[in-house]
Structure 1
Amino acid sequence: MTDASRRTMLGLAGSMGLLAAGRPLLAQQTQMVMPGPADWLSLTPDARGIVRFAIDVAVIGNSDAIDASGRIGPKDSQDYFNIDVRGDTYQVEGALYPGGTIPRASVMTPGRPGGKSSVQYQINWDFKGAEPVGHWLSRGWVLINGNREPAKDTRGTVIETARTEPHLLSEHNYVFGRFGPDNLSPEMLISSGVEDGNDVDKEVLVRAITGGTGRFRFVTGQVVESRNGRNSSTLRSFSNFPGAYAPNYRFDFELKLG
């Protein structure tokens, strides 16, 4: 994204208004119509041939689906940090926006009852704010082994101890365009890596770019994933913590196009 286009998008995001403490964006705001990828996604390389741009993603909470059928530990438990949850699979979708669309979270907000407060629990986006320009599709596998009893081999040697972070190994598809009957496969990027930790304020993760299509068909590089508050949708997967708001993410890409 060029400096000019980034300033334009930041200006649009700023015009939507920042939040009052802990509250969603103003309900009366009208939805912006975003440009197509050719209009906002600048892929001009620098002197070293590196392309840099950012996208924002708001996770769509009601698309969150977990399958515990392959779990090593008890399949009907949500005591995730005290059992072996490996074997769970999941998928979830998100709305993709140009970087700078979702304003930065800035208000300290309580998280789980009795837990710490963080700006990352602030609801700093609702879906009236802007029309998405693409899709974010994530699928993966849970990595949490909360079993406090060390695993041993047949000779009694400890081979595994508890590990409660990172939570997931995932594949992301960043789709630059909206699906439709005449647009079944917009160009996209794909990344792989781990995500989620026990402290939302420390969640900055580096993911490998594994491929792409269209302008990204010969791509290499990495993407840095960081949290950016919550949005007005709620996740389906935590019945022990109902009403948990879905997160937002910022993805900062550094790529070579081939």
Structure 2
Amino acid sequence: MDEEIHAAELCPCGYGRSAGVERDNLVCLRGKRFKRSTNGPVAGLPGHAPGDLRRKRCRPAPRRTGRRRLNRSRSGSFFLGVAPLPLPPGGTMAKTTLDPKFLPLVEGRRIASFGTLNDDGSVHLTAVWYLYEDGSFFVATSSRSRKARNLAARPRATLMVESRKPGSERGVTASGPVEILPGEKARELNARIYRRYLSAAALADPQVGPVFAQFDDITVKLKPTLWTWWDLPELDALFFGGRISSTPAYVLPQDI
């Protein structure tokens, strides 16, 4: 053999180039380079006949522009040097149906957060009374309210219900299309919503019950198509060994 083939090095065309290596003394092959010690033909390269130097150059590597991206884990964690927590059983908590164990939460008498989309893309968020029945949320409001105008233009909304008992925090978020119910149907539903939050004495008071009825002339019906939820006791059992639930002093009470 007329030449000596040295160990393969990185290809200068697409895979980088070592300093001090002459380009015309290299033969590119499959992303690697072989150095010749003589000017004779190159032999012994895989897939090439002896003396075949008509090898096309490797395609140049694209130039890097802009800032380098930080490595992210597939789970979405961005804490460098900290392993992301595994997902609970079942993977993501986003579902198309509500877990029955959260029914007592959404059927209870709580204040919900109701979100709609403004014209400028910002979120309009309000605290509302509601009724949950047959898989839908019903919210009493005025046809002149901001949320009613937003829903007329963009008939989708999100509602969140949560419990804030220290050490047992849990919550549900429901998103989906809405329907505006007017007239007698709205009056019936709104009266049922008031009865959930006001005593019989308050409803009978001429300065309370009738005034509420005058405020709200429509009902918003939200039919959720996507549910998400969180449950601190469940997360505590999975990731914290039950330490949060068994030690109430770990979670400080919220200001009222």
TM-score band, normalised by shorter chain: under 0.3
Q: TM-score, with normalisation over the residues of structure 2? A: 0.20
Bigger relative contact order, structure 1 or 2 (CA pairs below 8 A, ≥6 apart):
1
Greater fraction of residues in strand: 1
Taking structure 1 as the reference length, the TM-score comes to 0.20
Whose radius of gyration is greater, 1 or 2?
Answer: 2
**As a proportion of its length, which structure holds more helix?**
2
